[in-house]
Chain A
Amino acid sequence: GQNIDQPTEMTATEGAIVQINCTYQTSGFNGLFWYQQHAGEAPTFLSYNVLDGLEEKGRFSSFLSRSKGYSYLLLKELQMKDSASYLCAVSPNTDKLIFGTGTRLQVFP
């Protein structure tokens, strides 16, 4: 079976750093994605990891350890507009995409 776990909710303060963890157990692995989803909107792509290590893109970074079935999304210099759900998704084989339940992040001033 396929299983992707994330915390349900997190809170943080504006300007701070937050790390959202994701663990997965899938039948195969062809990459891990992070998506951002604001309330009432479609998910938008944030990052993609297929090899172990850290991928940095501006204020957002994503890390992958394939041997541990583990990833995290790191958000720096948090802004109010970062309040959203963050979805971890795994591709167990080419083009298939399975999502976790998502982590709802609330940023407070």
Chain B
Amino acid sequence: EAGVAQSPRYKIIEKRQSVAFWCNPISGHATLYWYQQILGQGPKLLIQFQNNGVVDDSQLPKDRFSAERLKGVDSTLKIQPAKLEDSAVYLCASSDGQQAFFGQGTRLTVV
């Protein structure tokens, strides 16, 4: 069974630039999460989708972050404009209702 796919693996951008991350969840998983993990900390939930609807985006900085999940499958997370404090690993996970499976993440460095 294919796992959660994310791209790119690494991204370096300058502050005030924009960036987008892509996630392809495990086939059939209705729930998709985006987490932000700052070095040395646990993952922080940014947004949770159930199919293509948003379940929870209470911790998403909506002035600069946006996410969508078209057709209830793939998802993209965008940051515009980026700040230095956005440097982190962005993890995508999908769930079968029992357990969450994580992708390898995208390591973002904002300089």
A residues apposed to B, CB below 8 Å: 4, 33, 41-45, 48, 87, 94-102, 104
Contacts and interface: CB of A to CB of B under 8 A. Distances in A.
Interface in B1-43: 31, 33, 35, 40-43
Given A87-B43, A102-B41, A95 B97 contact: yes
B102 to A, nearest CB: 4
Nearest to A94: B97
Given A41-B104, A42-B104, A99 B43 contact: yes
Contacts of A33: 99-100
A97 B100 contact: yes
A43 B41 contact: no
Band of interface residues on B: 20 to 34
A96 B41 contact: no
A42 B102 contact: yes
B64 interface: no
B14 to A, nearest CB: 23
Interface of B: 31, 33, 35, 40-45, 48, 50, 55-56, 91, 93, 95, 97-105
A109 to B, nearest CB: 24
B50 A99 contact: no
Contacts of B100: 33, 45, 97
Contacts of B99: 33, 45, 48
A95 B50 contact: yes
Contact of A95 (B43, B55, B103): B55
A101 B41 contact: yes
Contacts of B44: 99
Given A95-B55, A96-B55, A43 B43 contact: yes
9 contacts: A42-B104, A48-B99, A87-B43, A95-B50, A95-B95, A96-B45, A96-B48, A98-B45, A99-B35
Contacts of B45: 96-99
Nearest to A41: B104
B55 A102 contact: no
B56 A45 contact: no
